[in-house]
Amino acid sequence: MKKIFLTGASSGIGKAIAMALTEQGHEVWGTSRDASCLSNISRLHPARLDLSDSRSISDAFNAALAEAGHFDVVINNAGSGHFGPAENLSAESITNQFQLLVFGHIQLMQLALATMRAREHGLIINVTSLASRLPVPFMAAYNAAKAAMAAFIMSIQLELPDSRVHIIDLQPGDICTEFNNAVHKGAQYDSRYEAEVAKTWVMVERNMAAAPKPELVARHVLKLLEQINPPPRVTVGDTFQSKLAPFIFRFLPQRVRIWGLKKYYGL
């Protein structure tokens, strides 16, 4: 039995991970901004955490740690996105994306790392995104935040001495969750972009509807927990998005990458 801290356990990928872990007998401290949204299942301990508030992150982690005694695994999963032209993105929404997906995630990773380094044991799984490498049009701040987090994780992986503390960058492709509902909320379109935004949104929705279920990510997480020497980066999703596209992308010149992504989203 492992003790696990998991953010964003109320919905989508986090909820599927929470279900899979508790079914396997693990104790999970799962978070939401509203703890009443968390499933009432045994071995799931509800915690309130808001990534937009750094105090809430440390309070939630420290209170859960005091209850649990230690964490074997911390899963940095919670997050949301935005949708709209980069040209018109307000400084506030860019800052908000970076607070949630970079500063909040880094803060939690550092809190986890401090306790794990003291015990010389532990696993941190950071859920970033394939959007860090294959950006989605009209999600510029989201793509950039995920890329920043991926670079930060790789930097820590370079610096950490060989030990039994492992950090993984888990990069999902499209996974069928409630993610797009939050993304589209409050979207503002500059009229010059209206047609392109609409075309892209159709593709984004279509991809999401056809995407694998979040239980696929949960199964990958269960496998990672069993590995003595887990991989530093893992991609999860359908074969084209998670395997073929990132592989081919590596060898393409930038001009062809941009052309290919435009074609993919019908732009």
Ligand X SMILES: NC(=O)c1ccc[n+]([C@@H]2O[C@H](COP(=O)([O-])OP(=O)(O)OC[C@H]3O[C@@H](n4cnc5c(N)ncnc54)[C@H](OP(=O)(O)O)[C@@H]3O)[C@@H](O)[C@H]2O)c1
Site string for ligand X, 191-230 (x = CB under 6 A): ----------------------------------------
Round to whole Å and give the CA distance between 83 and 93.
10
Phi and psi torsions of 180, nearest 5°: -65, -25
* Rounded to 5°, angle at Cα 60 from 38 and 139: 70
**Which positions from 114 through 143 interact with ligand X, judged by CB under 6 A?**
127, 129
Does position 37 bind ligand X by CB under 6 A?
yes
Nearer to ligand X, 49 or 111 (CB): 49
Nearer to ligand X, 122 or 237 (CB): 237
Binds ligand X by CB under 6 A, chosen from 27, 50, 72, 169? 50
Binds ligand X by CB under 6 A, chosen from 2, 58, 59, 178? 178
Interacting span for ligand X (CB under 6 A) from 49-57, 113-121, 189-197, 244-252: 49-57
Round to whole Å and give the CA distance between 209 and 2.
33
Does position 14 bind ligand X by CB under 6 A?
yes
Give the total of residues touching ligand X (CB under 6 A).
Answer: 28
Nearer to ligand X, 27 or 174 (CB): 174
Binds ligand X by CB under 6 A, chosen from 29, 83, 103, 179? 179
Binds ligand X by CB under 6 A, chosen from 22, 80, 143, 241? 80
Closest CB 129 distance from ligand X, rounded Å: 4
CB 31 within 8 A of CB 99: no
Q: Which amino acid is at 101?
A: L
Q: Can you state the angle between helices 140-159 and 91-98, rounded to 10 degrees?
A: 30
β-sheet with 122-127: strand ranges across:
44-48, 27-32, 3-6, 73-76, 122-127, 165-172, 233-236
Binds ligand X by CB under 6 A, chosen from 52, 88, 95, 188? 52
* Rounded to 5°, angle at Cα 54 from 52 and 55: 120
Binds ligand X by CB under 6 A, chosen from 4, 10, 61, 234? 10
CB 177 within 8 A of CB 13: yes
Q: Which amino acid is at 113?
A: L
Q: Which residues 6+ apart lie within 8 Å of 101 measured at CB?
A: 51, 79, 142, 145, 146, 148, 149
Q: Which amino acid is at 259?
A: W
Does position 57 bind ligand X by CB under 6 A?
no
H or E element that contains 98: helix 91-98
Does position 46 bind ligand X by CB under 6 A?
no
Nearer to ligand X, 115 or 129 (CB): 129
Interacting span for ligand X (CB under 6 A) from 6-14, 17-25, 62-70, 148-156: 6-14
Does position 184 bind ligand X by CB under 6 A?
no
Contact residues for ligand X, defined by CB under 6 A: 8, 10-14, 32-34, 37, 49-52, 77-80, 100, 127, 129, 172, 174-175, 177-179, 182
